[in-house]
Chain A
Amino acid sequence: MINEILLILFAPLVAGVIAWALDVKGVREAIGIIGAAIPLAVLAKLYSQVLDEAINYSITVSGFTLQLQLNPMSWYFAVIASLVGLAMALGMAVTSRNSYDWLFALMSYTGVLGVFLSQDFVSFFLLWELMTFASFMMVLRRNRHESLKYFVLSVIGAYAMLIAIGMLYAKTGALDFATIRQALYMDAAMGTITTREMAMIFGLFLVAFGVKAGSVPLHVWAPGAYSETDQSYTAFFSGALSKAGAYGFLLLYILMGYKLYAAFGTFNNHLVFAYIIAWLGAITVVVAGFLAVLQEDIRKLFAYSSISQVGYILLAFGLGSTLGFAGGLFHVLSHAVFKGLFWLVTAAIILQTGKTQFKDMGGLAEKMPFTFAMGLIAVLSLAGIPPTAGFASKWLIYEAAIQAHMPLVAGAIFLGSGIAFAYVVRFLYAVWFGQRPSDLEDVKEAPLPLLIGMAILAIPNLVFGIAPGLVTDYINKMLGGEIVGGDYYRLVTQTGTYNALLVTIVLTIGLAIAGLIYIYGARARKVPVTNTYQSGNPVTEEYNLSIRKNFYRPLAEALEFWLKYSWDRFYERLASMAEDFADSLRESFYNGNVQSYSWYLAVVLLILALWGVL
């Protein structure tokens, strides 16, 4: 049905505009939340209909036919985005400062949904740009430098995509996905598009989607942009917007997978182009993971962690097997829910304490118990501990990597998981546990809307962790085939079985037994935090007993050599070189000397004369 797609797509944008125009405190929040909830509600209603047949909508604007389609895959991505979007709106109800935030946050929501729903490159690109622009405006408000960094890289990505689209259009004469796909499929046999051209198109798309997904070395915008904005919005920024990049990689397969295979062939039984994507993902996982461990700022830590986790998705897609896609798609969901949750927790912490550095925090678990519980769920899910969604998705990716016979890539994800554990422990320790600085004594629990937003994201983490079959079932339908077997509670692949319900039951029983032993083992008494063993020395609250700075200093020292090289500094230097070059151009050519302008004229005339024009 026509109206439903438009409703999904434009409800957030319209709500954003209304909220911005009205700008009445209380009303704008309500409108924003309603606008953010509509897509989720409509998508939920369309669930069974989408599985039967895709819903189409097309409109012709200025000679271009824009096609939007709600098919099983776009439904999956859109539902994830709108889930995070709703949580974001609830979070923003307390953290946003003005209507400006609402306008652009909801605008980027529309952009992301549009990217997922588009079926032709015109609408894809338009909505992609809307998404970039709106998220840029969100960052611009807080930090000009970071926002410009994000903008320049996004523009490079977007125009790389534009060139690639242009090349595809020149070769196939079509802009809609279906025709391009058909044409490239045929061309794989005929080979009219050369390998060189194909390599260029592929490279340009890699840049375009790599920027949004934040894959190394195009990740440098993410730490700054993710931290310098409303943290509730970052839940969407990193939870859903980064998925547009991941979706782009999927699109590469759908549109030109066969042609890329024909053009590049295979290497050690892997598709060459997929191999490149897998390694991009693997490097991203490890590099960003190590950088996350070394951060001293809560937002920076999660920014790098987000980059690292999106690397898992790229890696899974790069494995090229259907199981890899299933794992990657599952991880899209679990990353969206746990990372969105993390950012909302961060938003709550920053809202209530006003601090972002680890060195200023500690012992907040007592003051914000619900937020802590939510943070703990996110930690368990990110670190991949059953029974959470993060475990199920990572397990599928491991299985796929092992099945694809890529030992080094599999090693990279194992290493990445180890590092992920290291940085979430850092977060748990520095923020929630240990001694509380005296200026945090009157911190309160996060406000209700934010808590509801967190709960919206925490529930899928647990539900899809205990019943991962719900997701894999849908993924099976989406990819067409029995990729991951089993039922709601069991995942079965060719090499292994994961029974989430059994694990949950065993875990619960284990916890119950441990609890009994704990309760009957000894009568515990609460002691103050200073009653701790400082080698027998007396201590008071004036001593800082928690390690709040340089937690992983030995790791930093071990990595010293590698940390000398930074993409960040490389780009900064490149930017300043470009700036200097522009300066020198201006000074040397536009120098105010009338005679040199006449000389330019003379030179041009000379060239024309040599050319034979005159």
Chain B
Amino acid sequence: MSERNDDFITYELQEFKLFEPLFRWARKKSLWIVAFCTGCGGIEMPPLFTARYDIERFGMMPNPSPRMADLFLITGYVTPKTLKRIIITYEMIPDPKYIIAHGSCPINGGVYWDSYNVVKQLDKYIPIDVAIAGCMPRPEAVMDGIQEIMRKIESGEADGWKRYRENYEWYRKNQDELFGEGWRERDARRWLAWI
């Protein structure tokens, strides 16, 4: 299937090119995280938001809806079953959107390098902007990653959402190789027999 997936919203303000620096500044100062916790990092996320480390001072907010978010934290190993949900959620986030991957698992499988059920290289399926190594990275490391994504947003290097759009065929091919073609419909219909 090579047709383009146009289920997500494009975001290009041709009319306001002049204001692009302003927009970038505004974007980096108010990153809203879609609260989607995978793997061990799920338990390391709350300390980030709470009183000790408190990333709200960077203007970051955990938020349950992908439509309102622009930062997606992949906080640990990703199984194929979860990856389907991650892809669907990622495509639902409006452009521009950024991904930070925590820990070793999303980068290369981590301790689960020989598991049949962990996605070894997440970057093959969705574009990662910043990866933070460690198992599990300390909150300081995560905050360092956040500083990094802010810098990249400011400079325009955080362009995962553009890469995803431009290389959609490639990403789609990898996804389909893993799940089999038409996986969305197939996965949705699985439950119909059980209703």
Residues of A within 8 A of B (CB): 520, 522-525, 527-528, 531, 533, 535-540, 542-543
Contacts and interface: CB of A to CB of B under 8 A. Distances in A.
A533 B11 contact: no
A520 B15 CA distance: 8
A538 B12 contact: no
Contacts, number: 54
Given A522-B11, A523-B10, A527-B7, A540 B88 contact: no
Contacts of B6: 525
B88 A538 contact: yes
A542 B9 contact: no
B185 A537 contact: no
A533 B188 contact: no
A64 to B, nearest CB: 69
B187 A522 contact: no
Interface of B: 6-13, 15-16, 36, 65-67, 84-86, 88-89, 92, 94, 183-185, 187-189, 192
Given A527-B8, A540-B188, 6 more contacts: A520-B15, A527-B7, A536-B88, A537-B88, A542-B189, A542-B192
B185 A540 contact: yes
Contacts of A525: 6, 8-10
A520 B85 CA distance: 31
B92 A531 contact: yes
30 contacts: A520-B15, A520-B16, A523-B10, A523-B11, A524-B9, A525-B9, A527-B8, A528-B7, A531-B7, A533-B66, A533-B67, A533-B89, A533-B92, A535-B85, A536-B36, A536-B66, A536-B86, A536-B88, A536-B89, A537-B88, A537-B187, A537-B188, A538-B84, A538-B88, A538-B183, A538-B185, A539-B188, A540-B185, A540-B189, A542-B192
Contacts of B189: 540, 542
Interface centre among B7, B15, B86, B188 (most CB of A within 10 A): B188
A538 B188 contact: yes
Contacts of B183: 538
Contacts of B12: 523
Contacts of A538: 84, 88, 183-185, 187-188
B9 A523 contact: yes
Nearest to A541: B188
A99 to B, nearest CB: 48
Contacts of B66: 533, 536
B114 to A, nearest CB: 27
Contacts of A539: 188
The 8 closest A-B pairs by CB, nearest first: A536-B85, A538-B188, A538-B184, A536-B89, A540-B188, A538-B187, A531-B7, A536-B88
Contacts of B65: 533
Contacts of B188: 537-540, 542-543
Contacts of A543: 188, 192
A535 B66 CA distance: 9
A538 B94 CA distance: 18
